[in-house]
Amino acid sequence: MKKVITVIVVSVLGSNIFAIDLDPKAMTYYGGINMNSIATSEFENFHISDWENYGLGGSEGRVSIPLGDKDPAGSNMSLLVGAITPISDKLNALAEFQIGLGSVSYTAIYLGGTFNLINGEKFKLGITPKVGYTLATADFGEIELLTGYTPPVIIPEGTFTNGDKLTMDMSGVGVQIGITPSLKINDKIGILVQAGYELSIASDPVIMVNDEIEIPMTAKGVVKTDGTGTQAGLNPAAETGGIFFQFGISYKLGD
């Protein structure tokens, strides 16, 4: 479901920004790197168990989820690509896609604009607000049930067993605002830099099995790692926030 939402948001934002000017030759494209920080909360290991139906012990199906080992808190680097189209002499609209790879993968799409306070022929300096959609995914690989327990795990949300794929999706709304200096090298190539502040607001995380079964963190089968049936009581979140920095090379197709 979260991936479907991502596709819808990408399509809507993309269609809106490119509807402003349908001529690709009027646009400037850019690519580079994005440096930001990821803040996390409640990234702790937990279990998923069917103890409600099979009791605690040998007949129970139980799997360990090593979320604490996937904690991505700290500095994060991602790649970015984007497109800029002019609206007026001082105002440009833009669409931007960011992707970061690591223990927790990160993707984001932003829609925004730059208003140039300094609008010289070679050098420009503008303010760029952006708003978009972010998705962080923790990949736990293939499920392996704990020793001494009985597969499969059968809970109201679905059934899974050894070898199934397990991930956790954390999506949200992202906002960035920065100062954007740009330098024109020649008629085609330029340098684009942006530095500013960003904030994301994450929604409730969802555990996914084989990209089909959704298990909310509030499910009764999401339990502590002490072998009991006590609900884990976790609401893990991974959010970008604080200072960010971007550096990119721009290329204009048209004259």
Whole-Å CA distances, 31 to 120, 190, 194, 215: 22, 11, 12, 36
Cα 45 to its chain centre, rounded Å, is 21
Q: Tell me, what's the pLDDT at 103? A: 67
CATH fold for domain 2-252: Porin (2.40.160)
Contact criterion met (CB below 8 Å) for 159 and 144: no
Q: Which of left, alpha, beta for 243 (phi over 0: left; psi -120 to 50: alpha)?
A: beta
Residues 54, 56: Cα–Cα separation, whole Å:
7
From the list 69, 75, 133, the residue with the least C-alpha distance to 103 is 69
Q: Tell me, what's the pLDDT at 151? A: 92
Q: Where are the domains of the chain?
A: 2-252
Q: Tell me, what's the pLDDT at 105? A: 81
The two structure tokens encoding residue 193: 């830099």
Residues 250, 94: Cα–Cα separation, whole Å:
13
pTM value surpassing 0.85: no
Residue 172 half-sphere exposure toward CB, CA atoms < 13 A: 20
48-57 pLDDT, tens digit each: 999 999 999 8
* Strands of 62-65's sheet in order across: 62-65, 46-49, 222-223
Residues 35, 245: Cα–Cα separation, whole Å:
5
pLDDT < 50: residue spans in the chain: 1-21
